[in-house]
Structure 1
Amino acid sequence: MAALGANLAQFTVYSNGTVVGYSELENGDAPMGVTFGAFKPSDEYNIIRHECLTNHLNQSALKLSVRTNAGLVIPCAGVSILDYSAEAGSELIELNVLGIPHKIYSELFPEHVASYNQQFH
């Protein structure tokens, strides 16, 4: 399998095929296949914003997906946008991508894997 685009700086977030924002997915938990980061909304985010503000438990109806710069959908168990901007008084919105298979996670987020492994050396 060719590299999926390691060291990408930007990932695109879709809801029902519409671009709703972007993230660098700068943080992660490698053993769990989880990555997360600040979410930067596009203008179309307003279509789903209310749901992201009020429903943090099940956003499956939004059909969220995340793609690499190369346009590849990241396979995962789930994606969520946690919007706390109303209560935090700022643009505090986080994107979470859960359950990414290990091989793909290692290719997309080698820095997360290296950071985790560093704990044991």
Structure 2
Amino acid sequence: MAEFAVYSGDLLVGHSDLEQGDAPMGVAFGVFKPLDAYAEIREICVENHADQSALELSVRTEAGAVIPCAGVGILDCPAADEASYIEVNILGIPYPLYEQLFPQHVASYEKRTS
């Protein structure tokens, strides 16, 4: 499985395998693995799940290409014990690029609908 890089502007803030998805909607999401640089934007991600456009979030392939999409969001919901689950979502990835990047999501969807 590929590992994707998550950026805020030009700052690499973490990675994700984007292991889950909704193929018909062009959505991929997964566990976000933050790097130290994530500390610079974490407070905004925790406090604002509705509009993170000011962070200029993007996701890049292993080859460094920015994935075109309608939006990227980081859902950081810290638990009291700080063992929080952080998820990254990428929405509106165009087809057929979605199928090229996430064939496993497409295969899973087709299996459920057949």
Relative contact order, higher structure (CA 8 A, sep 6+): 1
Aligned equivalent of 1:94, options 87, 97, 105: 87
Shift of 1:60: 0.2
Shift of 1:102: 1.2
CA distance in structure 1 between the partners assigned to 2:10 and 2:32 by the alignment: 17
Q: What TM-score do you get using the length of structure 2 for normalisation? A: 0.96
Structure 1 contact 66–73 (Cα < 8 Å) conserved: yes
Matched residue pairs, number?
114
CA distance in structure 2 between the partners assigned to 1:21 and 1:102 by the alignment: 25
SS in 2 for 1:119: helix
Aligned equivalent of 1:36, options 29, 39, 45: 29
Are residues 1:109 and 2:102 paired?
A: yes
CA distance in structure 2 between the partners assigned to 1:79 and 1:120 by the alignment: 27
Structure 1 segments unaligned to the other structure (5+ residues): 1-6
SS in 2 for 1:96: strand
Equivalent residue for 2:56? 63
Cα 1:105–1:47 change in 2 (3 A) is: same
SS in 1 for 2:88: strand
CA distance in structure 2 between the partners assigned to 1:54 and 1:72 by the alignment: 29
Structure 2 segments unaligned to the other structure (5+ residues): none
CA distance in structure 2 between the partners assigned to 1:94 and 1:87 by the alignment: 17
Shift of 1:120: 2.3
Per mean C-alpha deviation after superposition, the further-off stretch among 10-19 and 87-96 is: 87-96
| Cα RMSD for the two superposed structures | 1.2
CA distance in structure 2 between the partners assigned to 1:24 and 1:88 by the alignment: 25
Shift of 1:86: 3.9
Q: What TM-score do you get using the length of structure 1 for normalisation? A: 0.90
Structure 1 contact 53–86 (Cα < 8 Å) conserved: no
Identity percentage of aligned residues: 58
Aligned equivalent of 1:80, options 73, 80, 83: 73
